[in-house]
Amino acid sequence: MLLTDKTVVLGITGSIAAYKAADLVSKLTQAGAKVEVIMTESATEFISPLTIRSLTARPVVTGMFGQSLESAIEHVALAEAADVVAIAPATANVISKLAVGVADDMLTCTVLATRAPVIIAPAMHTDMFQNSITQDNLVKLKARGFIIVGPVYGRLATGTVGIGRLAEVEEIIATVKQALGRSGDLVGKRIVVTAGGTQEPVDPVRYIGNRSSGKMGYAIAEAARDRGAEVKLIIAPTSIPAPADIEITQVETALQMKEAVTQAVTQADALIMAAAVADYQPRSAAKAKIKKETADLSLELIRTPDILAEVGGNLVKVGFAAESENVVENARSKLEQKQLDIIIANDITDVDSGFGTDTNKVTIINRDGKTESLPLMTKREVADKILDRVVGLLSPKH
């Protein structure tokens, strides 16, 4: 995909790999992109702004405030103009600033102000990269939708060999193209997402619940929002605050979830149900708190409606299967039984996968049989993989 008419805001930070940014700028410009470069003060120690300016024929922004007030407002202008923001090389310092939202220079202000996809290409010494603080910061950024490319294994500036080299320029450009291809591919689409775990009252104090935190559904809603979709997010009780810029409906029980989904899907192009919805509820909830007696207590449970199975209409239906054994087989049968287009099978007994985790390990199964088992990745990355499939199924008529 040519980059003509696309604005790439490129951040260069103070890594020895900064010299490679000249090659990246040159190749992006040759591909037709308008490249706006922001250099941190420390980056100018490694490569001169004049070198970069000679490649882009555009002014290079350094530091925070230039000579005029206009330049101070520039970070908003760049943030708005960007079709994609890339930081290459990205030092451990800038990664940690972004992870906590520090905005103390033009680059970090621009990243915080942009709604465009943000790509991070780390480059640093192996020990810095493998430091748990750096690793935690990268997981946090991935969970927020940042795209991380590299670093790769190879010879470092210190002469040692290890992971920490900046990803190859070609790989960074490919990532830029992929990010540009994704952003906006759901513009004009209406997507309903469910998240969290329903609670079925036993009495005014007690309920039957499950372990869903809402993270998987939230990640799908945020990814869809970032790709231009109009998102309706229906949330069963969770302890995590709802994402911004998304229409929220709060529910408690499976019946309330059914009601909310039925209303929301009337105009929708796709329904993606990540919520853990109870299959059973007490036949009736006691009006008063059930007193503790010496005898055992039995609860009669009745089936709740199968929301996904009962949703009709011309929309793409995506469900999840929370399984602990025969994961793919059980998921396939749910796909058939609920007449789904896609089902996401996740083994909830897998470490770092399923309920409450920031990561998930899933197998995506299409109705036509196409099956892809993905490695452990952040729930946001899983969300984008699911949406890639949904985009493929949304015909123009949707």
- Please tell me the distance from the alpha carbon of residue 275 to that of residue 230, in angstroms, as a whole number: 19
- Please tell me the distance from the alpha carbon of residue 225 to that of residue 177, in angstroms, as a whole number: 19
**Does 378 sit near ligand PMT (CB under 6 A)?**
no
- Please tell me the distance from the alpha carbon of residue 71 to that of residue 262, in angstroms, as a whole number: 50
The residue among 55 and 276 lying less far from ligand PMT, judged by its C-beta, is 276
The residue among 224 and 307 lying less far from ligand PMT, judged by its C-beta, is 307
Contact 25, 39 (CB under 8 A): no
Question: Among 99-107, 124-132, 182-190, 275-283, which window interacts with ligand PMT (CB under 6 A)?
Answer: 275-283
Q: How far is CA 109 from CA 60, 70, 73, 116, 148, in A?
A: 16, 15, 10, 13, 19
The residue among 154 and 313 lying less far from ligand PMT, judged by its C-beta, is 313
Q: Is the dihedral of CA 79, 81, 83, 89 positive or negative?
A: negative
**Does 390 sit near ligand PMT (CB under 6 A)?**
no
Question: Using alpha carbons only, what angle is made at residue 19 by residues 82 and 52, rounded to the nearest 5 degrees?
Answer: 50
Q: Could you say which of 260, 308, 387, 393 contacts ligand PMT (CB under 6 A)? A: 308
**Does 307 sit near ligand PMT (CB under 6 A)?**
yes
The residue among 151 and 196 lying less far from ligand PMT, judged by its C-beta, is 196
The residue among 88 and 276 lying less far from ligand PMT, judged by its C-beta, is 276
Backbone angles phi, psi at 220, to 5 degrees: -65, -45
- Please tell me the distance from the alpha carbon of residue 80 to that of residue 153, in angstroms, as a whole number: 35
**Does 151 sit near ligand PMT (CB under 6 A)?**
no
What residue type is 158 in one-letter code? T
Closest contact distance (angstroms) between CB of 182 and ligand PMT is 22
Give burial (CB, 10 Å; 0-12/13-18/19+) of 280: middle
Site size for ligand PMT, by CB under 6 A?
A: 26
**Does 316 sit near ligand PMT (CB under 6 A)?**
no
Q: Which residues are catalytic?
A: 210
**Does 264 sit near ligand PMT (CB under 6 A)?**
no
Chain-centre distance for alpha carbon 187:
17
x/- map, 237-256, ligand PMT, by CB under 6 A: -----------------x--
Contact 353, 359 (CB under 8 A): yes
**Does 275 sit near ligand PMT (CB under 6 A)?**
yes
Closest contact distance (angstroms) between CB of 207 and ligand PMT is 16
Using only the alpha carbons of the chain, give its radius of gyration: 24
DSSP H or E segment with residue 271: strand 270-273
The residue among 110 and 346 lying less far from ligand PMT, judged by its C-beta, is 346
Q: Is the dihedral of CA 378, 380, 382, 388 positive or negative?
A: negative
Q: Could you say which of 11, 14, 145, 319 contacts ligand PMT (CB under 6 A)? A: 319
Question: Among 23-31, 122-130, 272-280, 282-290, which window interacts with ligand PMT (CB under 6 A)?
Answer: 272-280
Q: Could you say which of 171, 259, 306, 350 contacts ligand PMT (CB under 6 A)? A: 306
Looking at residues 337 to 376 of the shown chain, list those that interact with ligand PMT (rule: CB under 6 A).
346, 348, 354-356
The residue among 89 and 214 lying less far from ligand PMT, judged by its C-beta, is 214
**Does 235 sit near ligand PMT (CB under 6 A)?**
no
Q: Could you say which of 55, 82, 322, 387 contacts ligand PMT (CB under 6 A)? A: 322
- Please tell me the distance from the alpha carbon of residue 365 to that of residue 344, in angstroms, as a whole number: 6
Question: Among 1-9, 287-295, 303-311, 369-377, which window interacts with ligand PMT (CB under 6 A)?
Answer: 303-311
Q: Please, what is the angle between helix 20-30 and helix 169-182, to 10°?
A: 50
Among 235, 253, 240, smallest CA distance to 194 is for 235
x/- map, 181-220, ligand PMT, by CB under 6 A: -------------------------------xxxxx----
Q: Which residues bind ligand PMT (CB under 6 A)?
A: 212-216, 254, 273-277, 279, 304, 306-308, 319-322, 334, 346, 348, 354-356
